Amino acid sequence: MTALSDAQRPHGSGVEPLRAKCGWIVALGVVYLLAGLIALSSVALATVASVFVVGIMMVIAGVAEVINAFQLKSWGKFLLWILLGLLYIVAGFVTFENPLLTAALLTLMLGAALVVSGVMRIILAFSMKEGMPWMWVALSGVITILLGGVILAHWPVSSLYILGIFLGIDLVFAGVGWIFVGLGLKSRA
Protein backbone atom coordinates (compact mmCIF):
# COMPACT_ATOMS: atom_id res chain seq x y z
CA MET A 1 0.00 0.00 0.00
CA THR A 2 1.66 3.24 -1.16
CA ALA A 3 -0.93 5.81 -0.15
CA LEU A 4 0.25 8.15 2.61
CA SER A 5 -2.05 9.26 5.37
CA ASP A 6 -2.62 13.00 5.95
CA ALA A 7 -0.29 12.93 8.96
CA GLN A 8 2.56 11.47 6.86
CA ARG A 9 2.28 13.96 4.01
CA PRO A 10 4.75 16.82 4.13
CA HIS A 11 1.99 19.36 3.58
CA GLY A 12 -0.47 17.67 5.91
CA SER A 13 -3.37 19.11 7.83
CA GLY A 14 -1.13 21.33 10.03
CA VAL A 15 -0.54 23.79 7.19
CA GLU A 16 -4.07 23.82 5.79
CA PRO A 17 -5.57 26.11 8.45
CA LEU A 18 -2.71 28.55 7.85
CA ARG A 19 -3.21 28.43 4.10
CA ALA A 20 -6.80 29.52 4.56
CA LYS A 21 -5.57 32.57 6.49
CA CYS A 22 -2.64 33.52 4.23
CA GLY A 23 -4.21 36.90 3.44
CA TRP A 24 -4.41 37.72 7.15
CA ILE A 25 -0.79 36.63 7.61
CA VAL A 26 0.29 38.98 4.80
CA ALA A 27 -1.80 41.75 6.38
CA LEU A 28 -0.10 41.12 9.74
CA GLY A 29 3.26 41.39 7.99
CA VAL A 30 2.25 44.69 6.39
CA VAL A 31 1.19 46.06 9.80
CA TYR A 32 4.53 45.00 11.32
CA LEU A 33 6.42 46.48 8.38
CA LEU A 34 4.57 49.80 8.59
CA ALA A 35 5.04 49.94 12.37
CA GLY A 36 8.76 49.29 11.88
CA LEU A 37 9.07 52.03 9.28
CA ILE A 38 7.21 54.45 11.57
CA ALA A 39 9.52 53.48 14.43
CA LEU A 40 12.58 54.05 12.25
CA SER A 41 11.26 57.44 11.14
CA SER A 42 11.01 58.56 14.78
CA VAL A 43 13.51 56.53 16.78
CA ALA A 44 13.30 58.73 19.88
CA LEU A 45 9.53 58.20 20.09
CA ALA A 46 10.02 54.48 19.44
CA THR A 47 12.58 54.38 22.26
CA VAL A 48 10.10 55.93 24.67
CA ALA A 49 7.39 53.52 23.48
CA SER A 50 9.67 50.53 24.07
CA VAL A 51 10.48 51.84 27.56
CA PHE A 52 6.77 52.08 28.33
CA VAL A 53 6.31 48.48 27.19
CA VAL A 54 9.10 47.42 29.55
CA GLY A 55 7.39 49.38 32.35
CA ILE A 56 4.06 47.70 31.69
CA MET A 57 5.71 44.27 31.71
CA MET A 58 7.42 45.09 35.02
CA VAL A 59 4.14 46.15 36.64
CA ILE A 60 2.39 43.00 35.39
CA ALA A 61 5.27 40.82 36.62
CA GLY A 62 5.19 42.59 39.98
CA VAL A 63 1.47 42.03 40.41
CA ALA A 64 1.97 38.35 39.50
CA GLU A 65 4.75 38.09 42.12
CA VAL A 66 2.51 39.62 44.80
CA ILE A 67 -0.35 37.28 43.89
CA ASN A 68 2.05 34.34 43.96
CA ALA A 69 3.27 35.37 47.44
CA PHE A 70 -0.15 34.59 48.88
CA GLN A 71 0.19 31.01 47.62
CA LEU A 72 3.23 30.36 49.83
CA LYS A 73 3.01 28.84 53.30
CA SER A 74 6.10 30.22 55.07
CA TRP A 75 6.48 33.84 56.21
CA GLY A 76 10.07 34.13 55.02
CA LYS A 77 9.26 33.22 51.45
CA PHE A 78 6.04 35.21 51.59
CA LEU A 79 7.87 38.40 52.55
CA LEU A 80 10.58 37.79 49.96
CA TRP A 81 8.00 37.35 47.16
CA ILE A 82 6.01 40.40 48.34
CA LEU A 83 9.14 42.56 48.41
CA LEU A 84 10.24 41.31 45.01
CA GLY A 85 6.79 41.98 43.56
CA LEU A 86 6.65 45.46 45.06
CA LEU A 87 10.13 46.20 43.72
CA TYR A 88 8.97 45.24 40.22
CA ILE A 89 5.84 47.38 40.55
CA VAL A 90 7.79 50.41 41.77
CA ALA A 91 10.42 49.96 39.05
CA GLY A 92 7.64 49.74 36.47
CA PHE A 93 6.12 53.02 37.65
CA VAL A 94 9.56 54.67 37.70
CA THR A 95 9.85 53.87 34.00
CA PHE A 96 6.62 55.81 33.43
CA GLU A 97 7.88 58.75 35.49
CA ASN A 98 11.27 59.06 33.79
CA PRO A 99 11.38 57.15 30.49
CA LEU A 100 14.59 58.82 29.32
CA LEU A 101 16.53 57.77 32.43
CA THR A 102 15.14 54.27 32.00
CA ALA A 103 16.17 54.29 28.33
CA ALA A 104 19.67 55.34 29.38
CA LEU A 105 19.92 52.49 31.88
CA LEU A 106 18.48 49.93 29.47
CA THR A 107 20.87 51.08 26.73
CA LEU A 108 23.84 50.86 29.10
CA MET A 109 22.81 47.32 30.08
CA LEU A 110 22.28 46.40 26.41
CA GLY A 111 25.73 47.64 25.42
CA ALA A 112 27.39 45.80 28.30
CA ALA A 113 25.41 42.63 27.56
CA LEU A 114 26.47 42.74 23.91
CA VAL A 115 30.15 43.10 24.85
CA VAL A 116 29.94 40.20 27.32
CA SER A 117 28.00 38.09 24.80
CA GLY A 118 30.60 38.78 22.13
CA VAL A 119 33.44 37.77 24.43
CA MET A 120 31.59 34.56 25.33
CA ARG A 121 31.06 33.75 21.63
CA ILE A 122 34.76 34.19 20.92
CA ILE A 123 35.65 31.92 23.84
CA LEU A 124 33.12 29.39 22.54
CA ALA A 125 34.57 29.65 19.02
CA PHE A 126 38.09 28.85 20.17
CA SER A 127 36.86 25.91 22.23
CA MET A 128 35.02 24.30 19.28
CA LYS A 129 36.33 21.05 17.86
CA GLU A 130 38.28 20.92 14.66
CA GLY A 131 36.05 20.71 11.62
CA MET A 132 33.37 22.88 13.21
CA PRO A 133 32.67 26.30 11.65
CA TRP A 134 34.35 28.13 14.55
CA MET A 135 35.37 31.08 12.38
CA TRP A 136 31.73 32.17 11.89
CA VAL A 137 31.09 32.01 15.61
CA ALA A 138 34.25 34.06 16.26
CA LEU A 139 33.24 36.61 13.62
CA SER A 140 29.80 36.85 15.20
CA GLY A 141 31.49 37.50 18.55
CA VAL A 142 33.70 40.24 17.13
CA ILE A 143 30.73 41.96 15.47
CA THR A 144 28.73 41.72 18.70
CA ILE A 145 31.61 43.24 20.70
CA LEU A 146 31.91 46.05 18.16
CA LEU A 147 28.18 46.74 18.28
CA GLY A 148 28.21 46.83 22.09
CA GLY A 149 31.33 49.00 22.03
CA VAL A 150 29.71 51.52 19.68
CA ILE A 151 26.65 51.69 21.93
CA LEU A 152 28.80 52.19 25.04
CA ALA A 153 31.12 54.69 23.35
CA HIS A 154 28.17 56.92 22.47
CA TRP A 155 26.32 56.42 25.76
CA PRO A 156 24.29 58.24 27.16
CA VAL A 157 23.43 60.01 23.89
CA SER A 158 22.87 56.64 22.20
CA SER A 159 20.10 55.91 24.69
CA LEU A 160 17.86 58.36 22.82
CA TYR A 161 17.83 56.27 19.65
CA ILE A 162 19.33 52.77 20.08
CA LEU A 163 16.24 51.09 21.54
CA GLY A 164 14.05 52.72 18.90
CA ILE A 165 16.36 51.62 16.09
CA PHE A 166 16.43 48.04 17.40
CA LEU A 167 12.63 48.04 17.76
CA GLY A 168 12.17 49.43 14.25
CA ILE A 169 14.59 46.95 12.66
CA ASP A 170 12.95 44.06 14.52
CA LEU A 171 9.48 45.10 13.36
CA VAL A 172 10.63 45.53 9.75
CA PHE A 173 12.25 42.09 9.63
CA ALA A 174 9.29 40.46 11.39
CA GLY A 175 6.94 42.13 8.92
CA VAL A 176 8.92 41.01 5.89
CA GLY A 177 9.08 37.51 7.36
CA TRP A 178 5.31 37.31 7.86
CA ILE A 179 4.68 38.70 4.37
CA PHE A 180 6.87 36.00 2.82
CA VAL A 181 5.23 33.29 4.96
CA GLY A 182 1.77 34.42 3.83
CA LEU A 183 2.80 34.66 0.18
CA GLY A 184 4.51 31.28 0.38
CA LEU A 185 1.38 29.70 1.79
CA LYS A 186 -0.72 31.35 -0.91
CA SER A 187 1.54 30.13 -3.72
CA ARG A 188 1.28 26.52 -2.47
CA ALA A 189 -2.50 26.60 -2.27
Q: What is the pLDDT of residue 75?
A: 78
Q: What is the pLDDT of residue 186?
A: 80
CA distance 83 to 96: 20
**Gyration radius of the chain's alpha carbons:** 23
Q: Tell me how far CA of residue 159 lies from CA of 40, 90, 148, 170, in angstroms.
A: 15, 22, 12, 17
What mean pLDDT, rounded, does the chain reach?
Answer: 88
Q: What is the pLDDT of residue 117?
A: 95
Question: φ, ψ for residue 87 (rounded to 5)?
Answer: -60, -45
Exposed, middle or buried: residue 3 (CB in 10 Å: 0-12, 13-18, 19+)? exposed
